[in-house]
Structure 1
Amino acid sequence: MAGSDGYALNDEADIIPRDIRFGILGNATRHWYGGDIHKTLMADGLSIFLPEGERYFIRSLKHYASKLGDRELAAEINGYSVQEAYHTREHEDYNRAMASLGYDIEEMEKPVKAALGVAKNPLHRLAVTCAIEHLTATLSSVTLRRPEIFDGAAAPYRRLWMWHALEELEHKAVALDVLKAVTPNLAGWKRYLLRVSAMNATIVPFLFIFLRNTRLYAHTDGVKTGVRFWLRFLWVVAVAPGFWRRCFPLFLSYYLPNFDPKNSDDAELVRKGRAWLEQELPSASGAVPSGPAG
């Protein structure tokens, strides 16, 4: 069934940039996730990484766009880049909203910028992009499979994260497709080592930075990060709602030698996400297909 902007008619494999503004800055809310600091910081803490990360992803893929002989893949990079540009804009707005509430966003972003600046080689940057795209696709799959996770969340924030999850799944295979396309003569085992080494080099700093920023975030709210705080943190990530526990099996799939994002059939999740977005934001505009996602 077609929505008012037509995007429900598109194939599940389409990458569809949607120019939607969520107005987070105008609705800045402390502990917007049901009044729960731990649940809120799981999402807010992730947003800290995203503006700088998404600019990094765009640069990594666009570096190779003109070098590819595959016009379809080049079109996918374009669609991917437009989606990520909209994500960057909305998460910059989101982070400014946190800053307006007193959180030191500049201090939280410093280690993110430093970590992303380590890899200088374009191929290594592309491999890091593949790793982070898998992490975001994993979080997105869990979000769309279990939308009730956001029950009790303020509407602007819930809508932004559901929209972001949908678009991450639409373009989840692009970075790895580019890696394969630009390394046709690289032995399979060397490509495997490249991508898992990049994941290892990414996930460890990510965890350290996230935990560091969790402390800064909590201290802004006057919350002591003692034993009780961290036990509650573990409960939220591992038990209820169990964000990281739900992600862990999907995350580990990246370490399989034959891993391919397209092996996981998320077509139904994409349809579900589009239907949710069409119902939640029927007047959303700017949904223009940008070619198949692979």
Structure 2
Amino acid sequence: MSITHTDIIPRDIHFGISTHSKRHWFDGDLQKTAIVDCFSIALPEGERFFIRSLNHYADRVSDKELGAEIKGYAVQEAFHTREHVDYNKSLAALGYDVDTMEKNVCGPLRKMKNPLIRLAVTCAIEHFTATFSFATLRNPALFEGADMRYRRLWVWHALEELEHMAVAIDVFNDATRGMPAWKRYLLRTGAANGVAVHFSVNCFRNISIYCRADGEKTGVRFWSRLMWLLLVKPGFMRLSLFAFLKYYLPGYDPAKERDEKLIETWREWVARETDGLLVKPEQAT
């Protein structure tokens, strides 16, 4: 294992999105804003799911260091949950149907009971989130024109996703250590296939619901431009695709994908940009 729990740094930062909510905060562009806002809608329920999935194994893992990593992971995800609950409240206050959109994307998570399936799905979603995080931090121009309050939140979230990106897979590998390699591979990649299809279908469904709330008609022109934004410029999906496909390599190890220089650069940026928003330990109650 190439990371330790000290590499996972929970930052108790209050971004206050609900008190500074803004339509079309991303370059004044409805579609760009919709792509990112619809990602936020899935996060609170998803992150609670991740925490439960890993905590189930916290006392079962064979490595004490991994147990400590799970704890750091859970604290980071709890802060993410809190901030995205606040974010989603701002969307509801602006008139977006958050409840329907959340149900579309998160409904199946609530029905999943098998701990190992839940863990495999957690690994897949964590990888998906990590690829978005790499795209965000390696391509700063991606968020050019974004309102700074929102940009700070997404950069903070991306940074912490990269800090803990190997934890779920490490827990999965530990939990399946007695399983044949081929079976472990099929379980891991099968979950990724399901997540990719479900998330893609419901992402487009939710973008349609979101934009209709702003009176935008979702015809051919709308979807053509949306695909341009995703695949060409700025290329949200294009910039993430190669990293996503690495998950299908046998023996994929996200710890080997960590970019320490990138992480350190953005740690400094987040510390500088959120200094007044960070809750210091002595201020915590």
Partner of 1:62: 55
How does 1:1-294 map onto structure 2 within 5 Å? 14-286=7-279
CA distance in 1, matches of 2:212, 2:275: 39
CA distance in 1, matches of 2:225, 2:52: 38
Partner of 1:8: none
How far has the Cα of 1:284 moved from its partner?
A: 4.8
Q: What TM-score do the two structures reach when normalised by structure 1?
A: 0.91
- Name the aligned partner's letter for residue 20 of structure 1: I
CA distance in 2, matches of 1:117, 1:285: 32
How far has the Cα of 1:188 moved from its partner?
A: 1.2
How far has the Cα of 1:111 moved from its partner?
A: 1.9
**Identity among equivalent pairs (%):** 55
How far has the Cα of 1:13 moved from its partner?
A: 6.4
> Is the 1:144–1:269 Cα contact (8 Å) retained in structure 2?
yes
Higher relative contact order (CA 8 A, sep 6+): 1
How far has the Cα of 1:173 moved from its partner?
A: 0.2
Q: Runs of 4+ in structure 1 displaced over 4 angstroms? A: none
Taking a change above 3 Å as real, the CA distance of residues 142 and 67 of structure 1, as seen in their structure-2 partners, is same
RMSD (CA atoms):
1.5
Unpaired segments of 5 or more residues in structure 2?
none
> Is the 1:45–1:213 Cα contact (8 Å) retained in structure 2?
yes
How many residue pairs end up in the alignment?
A: 278
How far has the Cα of 1:34 moved from its partner?
A: 0.9
Unpaired segments of 5 or more residues in structure 1?
1-10, 289-294
How far has the Cα of 1:12 moved from its partner?
A: 10
Deviations 1:222-278, CA, capped at 9 Å, x for gaps: 000001100110110011100001100000000011211012131111111101112
How far has the Cα of 1:89 moved from its partner?
A: 0.3
CA distance in 2, matches of 1:284, 1:224: 38
- Name the aligned partner's letter for residue 62 of structure 1: N
